Structure 1
Amino acid sequence: MNDTFAIGGDLPVHRSGFGAMRLTGPNVWGDPADRDGAIEVARRAVELGITFIDTADAYGPGSNEELLADALHPYADGVVIATKAGQSRPGPGKWKPLGRPEYLRQQAELSLRRLKLDRFDLYQLHRIDPQVPASEQFGVLKELQDEGKIRHIGLSEVTVAQIEEARTQIKVASVQNLYNAAERQHEAVLDYCERESIAFIPWHPVAKGDLASAKGPLASIAKELGATPSQVALAWLYRRSSVVIPIPGTSSIKHLEENHAASALELADEQFAALSAIAPPA
């Protein structure tokens, strides 16, 4: 596979990314029970060559960004810490879109402080708030970009129509949607991103339930390759499109290393076809 993708055309990252959400407490609330262990996971990610790490102001909330800064600042050359705003956290396990321009601006400033950054390489709108005109949400991100606080802007959980609407105001460098071999409802979005050279960052890239279990639909191919089902799920994503940057999350160094190793896994054509048939897009 192509090992790297240039976000926005000028920000190359290794396509094996890391989602840091799991480095929080239960229900994505507060610090993890073993904070020192979580810091070691983040540091090991960079040691492995992972250069794209995804977080959000809502993870913790705030504590995930602080943990990454404690683990990795000053950041090594080429390491991109991408964060998001637009989801408020009324309580543990609760999420609510909040896209008022003054709130997004406030959260951007707080994230810069927590991550010890002067500028975000990639700043993503976590959700489009249906209670606020989308143009106002895109507009404040453009203002922050014009002020030099954001290099590239991304969106999350959006349709093709929403991306096109956003592109009338901003350059969209990335899209982060739910997507994996068993959940392909955003196939049209991925196809669009591929045509337009927009990074597609699938969250929940391994899926849940039986997909990656020892008796699931990936198990036989995993056995053929001497790999785990989770690695096969990730390998399918790498093969699916060169714009895809998976961000599997874990709080385990062992699983982190396994996930990263999946970027070197090569699927034969018939294996890729079999995996693609698990949940063909409508």
Structure 2
Amino acid sequence: MTINCNGNLIDLSTPKVMGILNLTPDSFYDGGSYKDEKSILLQVDKMLKDGATFIDVGAYSSRPNATNISVEEEISRIVPIVKLLIKEFPSILLSIDTFRSAVAKACLENGATLINDISAGSLDDEMMSVIAAYKVPYILMHMRGTPATMQQLTEYTDVTLDIKHYFAEKIAKARAKGIIDIIIDPGFGFAKTTAQNFTLLQNLDLFKSIDVPILAGLSRKSMIYKTLDTTAANALNGTTALNTIALTKGAGILRVHDVKEAVECIALTNALKFNE
């Protein structure tokens, strides 16, 4: 299973790692950590050397009850960093974490490679048209409502089947627009209780029937640190445990804060499969 990133065919039959770069001051784990060019370049260089295939850059915090910012502010935060990273790392595959088509367009015009949309087009009717026009891979995540309201929208008939139906509708709409490369993300922590998150992880292999790559974004999420009665800062071991489970259930991309550990998860699960 491959995706086309700026002419590079990325084979996701061997899982890949997407390193997270938050440019926001209020993200749940590393908000405010990367405030200047030096710290940003050091972190991206580390993630690439540790084995990240993609770097996912976000300038709008999607944690529950995060501060809303304007489109203009989001663009002013993210576009200079996209330009900086393309200049310093010319072969970098940059994913842009945004649900706004204007932000996506501005970043794609400056060399970004993928768009990672937490709303799968629900929060901006123009997003899919932009993706289709630029012919880039599109990550469709499942969420209900907005980051401000999602935690009140956790009623499902069957969380796994409901989300499979959601993806069927979104993928049909994306295909109708002409979008070729699609990745799905069940959206751990977005409009889901802790119990629902674990149900989704348990059933992650059921999403393989959709026949597109699956992204798992479990890194340091509350489902881990609340279950372990700890904090996001102390949730790396738990993240590694759940990433390993996600890989055994078909995840093709791990979106993480800690690249080295995720790469090791992939190497070990690949060895396990090789010896089955």
Q: Could you say if the C-alpha distance between residues 17 and 127 of structure 1 is closer, same or farther in structure 2, counting changes exceeding 3 Å?
A: same
TM-score (norm 2): 0.60
Residue type of the alignment partner of 2:267: A
Partner residue, 1:12: 11
Partner residue, 1:39: 41
Contact 1:39–1:71 under 8 Å retained in 2: yes
Alignment of 1:102-117 (within 5 A): 104=101, 106-113=102-109, 116-117=110-111
Contact 1:154–1:174 under 8 Å retained in 2: yes
TM-score (norm 1): 0.59
Q: Could you say if the C-alpha distance between residues 160 and 190 of structure 1 is closer, same or farther in structure 2, counting changes exceeding 3 Å?
A: farther
Residue 161 (structure 1) shift: 3.5
Partner residue, 1:262: 265
Q: Could you say if the C-alpha distance between residues 193 and 157 of structure 1 is closer, same or farther in structure 2, counting changes exceeding 3 Å?
A: same
Identity fraction in percent: 12
Contact 1:55–1:65 under 8 Å retained in 2: no
Higher helix share: 2
RMSD: 4.1
Partner residue, 2:64: none
Q: Secondary structure at the match of 1:165?
A: helix
Partner residue, 1:61: 74
Unaligned runs of 5+ in 1: 88-103, 217-226, 250-254, 270-282
Task: Measure the CA separation in 1 of the matches of 2:88 and 2:37.
Answer: 19
Alignment of 1:139-218 (within 5 A): 139-142=129-132, 144=133, 149-157=134-142, 159-166=166-173, 167-169=175-177, 170-179=179-188, 183-184=197-198, 186=200, 190-191=204-205, 193-208=207-222, 210-211=224-225
Task: Measure the CA separation in 2 of the matches of 1:176 and 1:214.
Answer: 24
Q: Could you say if the C-alpha distance between residues 6 and 237 of structure 1 is closer, same or farther in structure 2, counting changes exceeding 3 Å?
A: same
Q: Secondary structure at the match of 2:74?
A: coil
- The question of 1:75 aligning with 2:89 is answered yes
Unaligned runs of 5+ in 2: 62-72, 144-165, 231-235
Residue type of the alignment partner of 1:50: A
Q: Secondary structure at the match of 2:218?
A: coil
Q: Could you say if the C-alpha distance between residues 152 and 34 of structure 1 is closer, same or farther in structure 2, counting changes exceeding 3 Å?
A: closer
Task: Measure the CA separation in 1 of the matches of 2:81 and 2:172.
Answer: 35
Q: Could you say if the C-alpha distance between residues 65 and 212 of structure 1 is closer, same or farther in structure 2, counting changes exceeding 3 Å?
A: farther
Residue 64 (structure 1) shift: 4.4
Residue 247 (structure 1) shift: 0.7
Task: Measure the CA separation in 2 of the matches of 1:268 and 1:108.
Answer: 37
Deviations 1:49-86 (A, max 9, x none): 21112224636724345335424535354x42112442
Contact 1:123–1:150 under 8 Å retained in 2: no
Contact 2:19–2:55 under 8 Å retained in 1: yes
Residue 42 (structure 1) shift: 0.9
- The question of 1:248 aligning with 2:256 is answered yes
Residue 259 (structure 1) shift: 3.9
Deviations 1:189-230 (A, max 9, x none): 9556522431222223443255587778xxxxxxxxxx9333
Q: Secondary structure at the match of 1:127?
A: coil
Q: Could you say if the C-alpha distance between residues 70 and 268 of structure 1 is closer, same or farther in structure 2, counting changes exceeding 3 Å?
A: closer
Partner residue, 2:150: none
More displaced 10-residue stretch of structure 1: 47-56 or 33-42 = 33-42
Deviations 1:7-29 (A, max 9, x none): 369333651221222x5323488
Deviations 1:126-179 (A, max 9, x none): 4256576x5x6434432x1xxxx3332332226224334323333352123323
Contact 2:17–2:254 under 8 Å retained in 1: yes
Partner residue, 1:48: 50
